[in-house]
Protein backbone atom coordinates (compact mmCIF):
# COMPACT_ATOMS: atom_id res chain seq x y z
CA UNK A 1 0.00 0.00 0.00
CA UNK A 2 1.30 3.45 -0.92
CA UNK A 3 1.74 5.81 2.00
CA UNK A 4 0.35 9.32 1.80
CA UNK A 5 2.44 12.22 3.06
CA UNK A 6 -0.42 14.42 4.28
CA UNK A 7 -2.63 13.83 7.32
CA UNK A 8 -5.65 15.37 5.58
CA UNK A 9 -5.44 13.13 2.50
CA UNK A 10 -7.95 10.83 4.18
CA UNK A 11 -10.92 11.59 6.42
CA UNK A 12 -14.16 9.90 7.53
CA UNK A 13 -16.99 9.88 5.01
CA UNK A 14 -19.53 7.98 7.10
CA UNK A 15 -21.32 8.83 10.33
CA UNK A 16 -20.29 5.43 11.67
CA UNK A 17 -16.63 6.42 11.37
CA UNK A 18 -16.90 9.60 13.43
CA UNK A 19 -15.49 9.36 16.96
CA UNK A 20 -16.66 11.42 19.93
CA UNK A 21 -19.40 14.10 19.97
CA UNK A 22 -21.95 11.40 20.76
CA UNK A 23 -24.90 13.76 21.15
CA UNK A 24 -24.12 15.53 17.86
CA UNK A 25 -23.81 12.24 16.00
CA UNK A 26 -27.14 10.98 17.34
CA UNK A 27 -28.87 14.24 16.36
CA UNK A 28 -27.44 13.97 12.85
CA UNK A 29 -28.34 10.28 12.60
CA UNK A 30 -31.99 10.94 13.48
CA UNK A 31 -32.16 13.89 11.06
CA UNK A 32 -30.65 11.78 8.25
CA UNK A 33 -33.11 8.95 8.81
CA UNK A 34 -36.01 11.43 8.79
CA UNK A 35 -34.72 13.00 5.56
CA UNK A 36 -34.53 9.62 3.85
CA UNK A 37 -37.94 8.56 5.14
CA UNK A 38 -39.59 11.73 3.82
CA UNK A 39 -37.41 12.02 0.69
CA UNK A 40 -36.44 15.59 1.51
CA UNK A 41 -33.23 17.59 2.08
CA UNK A 42 -31.35 17.43 5.36
CA UNK A 43 -32.60 19.98 7.89
CA UNK A 44 -30.89 23.37 7.99
CA UNK A 45 -28.50 23.29 10.92
CA UNK A 46 -26.07 25.39 12.92
CA UNK A 47 -22.83 23.87 14.23
CA UNK A 48 -21.56 25.69 17.32
CA UNK A 49 -18.33 25.08 19.19
CA UNK A 50 -14.62 25.78 19.52
CA UNK A 51 -12.32 25.76 16.52
CA UNK A 52 -10.96 22.41 15.38
CA UNK A 53 -13.53 20.10 17.01
CA UNK A 54 -15.11 18.62 13.87
CA UNK A 55 -17.77 21.04 12.66
CA UNK A 56 -16.53 21.07 9.06
CA UNK A 57 -15.90 17.33 9.07
CA UNK A 58 -19.44 16.67 10.26
CA UNK A 59 -20.88 18.88 7.51
CA UNK A 60 -18.89 16.93 4.90
CA UNK A 61 -20.13 13.64 6.32
CA UNK A 62 -23.73 14.88 6.14
CA UNK A 63 -23.25 15.63 2.43
CA UNK A 64 -21.62 12.24 1.89
CA UNK A 65 -24.44 10.42 3.69
CA UNK A 66 -26.99 12.33 1.61
CA UNK A 67 -24.99 11.55 -1.57
CA UNK A 68 -25.20 15.28 -2.25
CA UNK A 69 -22.81 17.85 -3.64
CA UNK A 70 -20.95 19.89 -1.02
CA UNK A 71 -20.58 23.68 -1.51
CA UNK A 72 -18.17 25.24 1.00
CA UNK A 73 -17.46 28.92 1.61
CA UNK A 74 -16.16 31.15 4.42
CA UNK A 75 -18.57 33.66 5.91
CA UNK A 76 -16.23 36.59 5.28
CA UNK A 77 -16.19 35.73 1.56
CA UNK A 78 -19.87 36.70 1.27
CA UNK A 79 -19.23 40.43 1.27
CA UNK A 80 -21.57 41.30 -1.61
CA UNK A 81 -25.04 40.21 -2.63
CA UNK A 82 -23.54 38.78 -5.81
CA UNK A 83 -21.29 36.47 -3.75
CA UNK A 84 -24.25 35.07 -1.82
CA UNK A 85 -26.45 34.79 -4.91
CA UNK A 86 -23.80 32.85 -6.81
CA UNK A 87 -23.46 30.41 -3.91
CA UNK A 88 -27.20 29.82 -3.57
CA UNK A 89 -27.88 29.53 -7.30
CA UNK A 90 -25.14 26.91 -7.73
CA UNK A 91 -26.90 24.47 -5.39
CA UNK A 92 -29.21 21.76 -6.66
CA UNK A 93 -31.99 19.98 -4.78
CA UNK A 94 -30.68 18.28 -1.63
CA UNK A 95 -27.18 19.76 -2.03
CA UNK A 96 -25.42 20.88 1.15
CA UNK A 97 -24.26 24.49 1.37
CA UNK A 98 -21.71 24.87 4.15
CA UNK A 99 -20.78 28.32 5.45
CA UNK A 100 -17.83 28.21 7.85
CA UNK A 101 -17.18 31.11 10.24
CA UNK A 102 -20.79 32.10 9.63
CA UNK A 103 -20.68 34.85 12.26
CA UNK A 104 -18.51 36.83 9.85
CA UNK A 105 -21.25 37.04 7.21
CA UNK A 106 -22.07 40.76 6.85
CA UNK A 107 -25.40 41.70 8.42
CA UNK A 108 -26.90 42.67 5.06
CA UNK A 109 -26.15 39.24 3.61
CA UNK A 110 -27.48 37.52 6.72
CA UNK A 111 -30.83 39.22 6.09
CA UNK A 112 -30.69 38.24 2.41
CA UNK A 113 -29.98 34.65 3.44
CA UNK A 114 -32.99 34.79 5.73
CA UNK A 115 -35.25 35.74 2.80
CA UNK A 116 -33.71 32.98 0.68
CA UNK A 117 -34.53 30.37 3.33
CA UNK A 118 -38.05 31.63 3.94
CA UNK A 119 -39.12 32.19 0.34
CA UNK A 120 -36.69 29.87 -1.48
CA UNK A 121 -35.78 32.64 -3.88
CA UNK A 122 -33.36 35.53 -4.22
CA UNK A 123 -34.31 39.09 -5.04
CA UNK A 124 -32.28 40.91 -7.71
CA UNK A 125 -32.45 44.69 -7.47
CA UNK A 126 -33.32 46.62 -10.60
CA UNK A 127 -30.22 48.79 -10.22
CA UNK A 128 -29.78 52.09 -12.07
CA UNK A 129 -32.00 50.98 -14.96
CA UNK A 130 -35.12 51.63 -12.95
CA UNK A 131 -36.46 48.16 -13.60
CA UNK A 132 -38.52 46.43 -10.94
CA UNK A 133 -36.68 43.94 -8.72
CA UNK A 134 -36.68 40.40 -10.08
CA UNK A 135 -36.74 37.11 -8.20
CA UNK A 136 -35.05 33.85 -9.06
CA UNK A 137 -36.20 30.51 -7.60
CA UNK A 138 -33.76 28.43 -5.58
CA UNK A 139 -33.33 24.70 -5.31
CA UNK A 140 -34.36 22.91 -2.14
CA UNK A 141 -30.89 22.79 -0.57
CA UNK A 142 -29.65 22.18 2.98
CA UNK A 143 -27.83 25.00 4.74
CA UNK A 144 -25.21 24.07 7.33
CA UNK A 145 -23.48 26.92 9.14
CA UNK A 146 -20.57 26.69 11.59
CA UNK A 147 -19.43 29.27 14.10
CA UNK A 148 -17.56 29.68 17.35
CA UNK A 149 -19.88 32.54 18.34
CA UNK A 150 -23.53 32.05 17.42
CA UNK A 151 -24.60 35.32 19.04
CA UNK A 152 -22.97 37.33 16.26
CA UNK A 153 -25.61 35.90 13.91
CA UNK A 154 -28.94 37.70 13.71
CA UNK A 155 -31.53 35.90 15.91
CA UNK A 156 -34.06 35.31 13.08
CA UNK A 157 -31.41 33.43 11.10
CA UNK A 158 -30.59 31.23 14.10
CA UNK A 159 -34.32 30.59 14.51
CA UNK A 160 -34.47 29.18 10.97
CA UNK A 161 -31.99 26.45 11.86
CA UNK A 162 -33.95 23.29 12.62
CA UNK A 163 -30.93 21.71 14.28
CA UNK A 164 -28.37 23.30 16.59
CA UNK A 165 -25.38 20.99 17.04
CA UNK A 166 -23.27 21.87 20.07
CA UNK A 167 -19.69 20.59 19.76
CA UNK A 168 -17.53 20.10 22.85
CA UNK A 169 -13.83 19.53 23.47
CA UNK A 170 -12.80 15.87 23.17
CA UNK A 171 -11.64 13.53 25.91
CA UNK A 172 -8.09 12.21 25.63
CA UNK A 173 -9.23 8.63 24.95
CA UNK A 174 -11.29 9.93 22.01
CA UNK A 175 -8.27 11.78 20.63
CA UNK A 176 -6.28 8.55 20.90
CA UNK A 177 -8.89 6.73 18.81
CA UNK A 178 -9.15 9.54 16.25
CA UNK A 179 -5.38 9.65 15.79
CA UNK A 180 -5.12 5.85 15.58
CA UNK A 181 -7.92 5.75 12.99
CA UNK A 182 -6.29 8.39 10.80
CA UNK A 183 -2.78 6.91 11.01
CA UNK A 184 -4.12 3.47 10.15
CA UNK A 185 -5.92 4.88 7.11
CA UNK A 186 -2.71 6.59 6.01
CA UNK A 187 -0.65 3.44 6.61
CA UNK A 188 1.65 5.29 9.00
CA UNK A 189 2.85 2.77 11.62
CA UNK A 190 3.03 4.18 15.15
CA UNK A 191 4.13 2.85 18.52
CA UNK A 192 1.08 2.50 20.77
CA UNK A 193 2.69 4.54 23.55
CA UNK A 194 2.83 7.59 21.27
CA UNK A 195 -0.94 7.99 20.91
CA UNK A 196 -1.75 9.08 24.50
CA UNK A 197 1.28 11.40 24.43
CA UNK A 198 -0.18 13.12 21.37
CA UNK A 199 -3.63 13.25 22.98
CA UNK A 200 -2.44 14.95 26.18
CA UNK A 201 -0.78 17.70 24.13
CA UNK A 202 -3.82 18.36 21.95
CA UNK A 203 -6.06 20.44 24.26
CA UNK A 204 -9.14 18.38 23.46
CA UNK A 205 -8.92 19.36 19.76
CA UNK A 206 -8.61 16.68 17.03
CA UNK A 207 -7.11 19.19 14.58
CA UNK A 208 -4.18 19.73 16.95
CA UNK A 209 -3.76 16.00 17.53
CA UNK A 210 -3.58 15.31 13.81
CA UNK A 211 -1.20 18.22 13.22
CA UNK A 212 1.12 16.88 15.92
CA UNK A 213 0.92 13.37 14.42
CA UNK A 214 1.90 14.90 11.07
CA UNK A 215 4.85 16.66 12.73
CA UNK A 216 6.02 13.41 14.35
CA UNK A 217 5.74 11.59 11.00
CA UNK A 218 7.77 14.37 9.36
CA UNK A 219 10.53 13.85 11.91
CA UNK A 220 10.43 10.09 11.39
CA UNK A 221 10.75 10.44 7.63
CA UNK A 222 13.55 13.01 7.96
CA UNK A 223 15.50 10.33 9.81
CA UNK A 224 14.71 7.65 7.26
CA UNK A 225 12.26 5.83 9.55
CA UNK A 226 8.89 4.35 8.62
CA UNK A 227 7.37 4.28 12.10
CA UNK A 228 6.43 7.03 14.53
CA UNK A 229 8.15 6.56 17.88
CA UNK A 230 8.11 8.49 21.15
CA UNK A 231 11.52 9.84 20.20
CA UNK A 232 10.09 11.27 16.98
CA UNK A 233 7.26 12.92 18.88
CA UNK A 234 9.64 14.33 21.47
CA UNK A 235 11.77 15.94 18.78
CA UNK A 236 8.69 17.31 16.99
CA UNK A 237 7.57 18.95 20.25
CA UNK A 238 11.08 20.31 20.82
CA UNK A 239 11.11 21.86 17.36
CA UNK A 240 7.71 23.49 17.95
CA UNK A 241 8.62 24.41 21.56
CA UNK A 242 5.62 22.55 22.98
CA UNK A 243 5.61 21.40 26.59
CA UNK A 244 4.02 18.24 28.00
CA UNK A 245 0.52 19.71 27.73
CA UNK A 246 0.98 21.30 24.33
CA UNK A 247 1.56 24.84 25.58
CA UNK A 248 3.49 26.88 23.04
CA UNK A 249 6.08 29.64 23.64
CA UNK A 250 3.49 32.43 24.03
CA UNK A 251 1.45 30.54 26.61
CA UNK A 252 4.58 29.58 28.51
CA UNK A 253 5.66 33.23 28.51
CA UNK A 254 2.16 34.23 29.70
CA UNK A 255 2.51 31.93 32.71
CA UNK A 256 5.89 33.43 33.57
CA UNK A 257 4.46 36.94 33.37
CA UNK A 258 1.66 36.26 35.88
CA UNK A 259 3.57 33.95 38.21
CA UNK A 260 4.61 36.71 40.65
CA UNK A 261 1.22 38.32 41.16
CA UNK A 262 -1.86 39.79 39.51
CA UNK A 263 -1.49 41.49 36.12
CA UNK A 264 -3.86 43.50 33.97
CA UNK A 265 -4.72 42.27 30.50
CA UNK A 266 -3.19 45.28 28.75
CA UNK A 267 0.10 44.80 30.63
CA UNK A 268 0.25 41.11 29.69
CA UNK A 269 -0.59 41.93 26.08
CA UNK A 270 2.09 44.59 25.95
CA UNK A 271 4.76 42.23 27.27
CA UNK A 272 3.67 39.54 24.82
CA UNK A 273 3.59 42.03 21.95
CA UNK A 274 0.01 41.13 21.06
CA UNK A 275 -3.32 43.00 20.96
CA UNK A 276 -5.32 42.54 24.19
CA UNK A 277 -8.19 40.99 22.22
CA UNK A 278 -5.89 38.30 20.84
CA UNK A 279 -4.58 37.51 24.31
CA UNK A 280 -8.05 37.26 25.85
CA UNK A 281 -9.66 35.29 23.02
CA UNK A 282 -6.75 33.07 21.95
CA UNK A 283 -3.67 32.93 24.18
CA UNK A 284 -5.27 32.63 27.60
CA UNK A 285 -8.38 30.57 26.74
CA UNK A 286 -6.73 27.17 27.24
CA UNK A 287 -4.82 28.38 30.32
CA UNK A 288 -8.08 29.40 32.00
CA UNK A 289 -9.87 26.21 30.90
CA UNK A 290 -7.05 24.13 32.40
CA UNK A 291 -7.27 26.06 35.66
CA UNK A 292 -3.74 27.48 35.37
CA UNK A 293 -4.91 31.09 35.30
CA UNK A 294 -7.84 32.84 36.98
CA UNK A 295 -9.17 36.40 37.34
CA UNK A 296 -9.86 38.43 40.46
CA UNK A 297 -12.90 40.68 40.96
CA UNK A 298 -11.18 43.44 38.99
CA UNK A 299 -10.42 41.22 36.01
CA UNK A 300 -6.70 40.98 36.81
CA UNK A 301 -5.06 37.70 35.90
CA UNK A 302 -3.10 35.54 38.33
CA UNK A 303 -1.48 32.12 38.37
CA UNK A 304 -3.32 29.44 40.36
CA UNK A 305 -1.64 26.76 42.43
CA UNK A 306 -2.18 24.34 39.55
CA UNK A 307 -0.49 26.85 37.26
CA UNK A 308 2.50 27.18 39.61
CA UNK A 309 2.80 23.39 39.72
CA UNK A 310 2.78 23.12 35.93
CA UNK A 311 5.35 25.91 35.59
CA UNK A 312 7.58 24.23 38.17
CA UNK A 313 7.27 20.84 36.46
CA UNK A 314 8.06 22.36 33.07
CA UNK A 315 11.20 24.03 34.46
CA UNK A 316 12.42 20.76 35.96
CA UNK A 317 11.87 19.05 32.61
CA UNK A 318 13.81 21.80 30.81
CA UNK A 319 16.68 21.47 33.27
pLDDT the model gives residue 131: 67
pLDDT tens readout for residues 232-263: 999 999 999 999 999 999 999 999 999 988 99
**CB of 92 within 8 A of CB of 139?**
yes
pLDDT the model gives residue 317: 59
pLDDT tens readout for residues 93-133: 999 999 999 999 999 999 999 999 999 998 877 555 556 67
- Torsion from C-alpha of 295, 296, 300, 305, nearest 10 degrees: -60
For residue 205, give the nearest of 12, 72, 55 by alpha carbon.
55
pLDDT the model gives residue 2: 56
Beta strands 96-100 and 70-74 are: parallel
What's the number of CA atoms in the CB half-sphere (13 Å) around residue 318?
10
Q: What is the per-residue burial (b if ≥16 Cβ within 10 Å, else e) of 193-205?
A: ebbebbbebbbbb
pLDDT the model gives residue 127: 56
Q: How confident is the model at residue 154 (pLDDT cuts 50, 70, 90)?
A: very high
pLDDT the model gives residue 124: 79
Averaged pLDDT, 40-48: 97
**CB of 113 within 8 A of CB of 73?**
no
- Torsion from C-alpha of 77, 82, 84, 86, nearest 10 degrees: -110
What's the number of CA atoms in the CB half-sphere (13 Å) around residue 219?
19
pLDDT tens readout for residues 249-298: 999 999 999 998 899 999 999 999 999 999 998 899 999 999 999 999 99
Mean pLDDT of all residues in the chain? 92
- pTM for the predicted model, two decimal places: 0.88
Question: What letter does residue 50 receive in the DSSP assignment?
Answer: S
Amino acid sequence: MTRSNEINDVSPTSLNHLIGQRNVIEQVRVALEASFADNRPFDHCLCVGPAGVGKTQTAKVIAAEMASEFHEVLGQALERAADLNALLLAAKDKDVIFIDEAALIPSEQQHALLIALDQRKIILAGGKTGRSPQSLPLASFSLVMATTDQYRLIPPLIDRMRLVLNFQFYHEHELVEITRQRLRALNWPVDEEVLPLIAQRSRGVPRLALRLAQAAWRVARSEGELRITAKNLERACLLEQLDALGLGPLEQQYLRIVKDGTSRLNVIASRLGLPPRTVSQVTEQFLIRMGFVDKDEHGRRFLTRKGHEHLSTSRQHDD
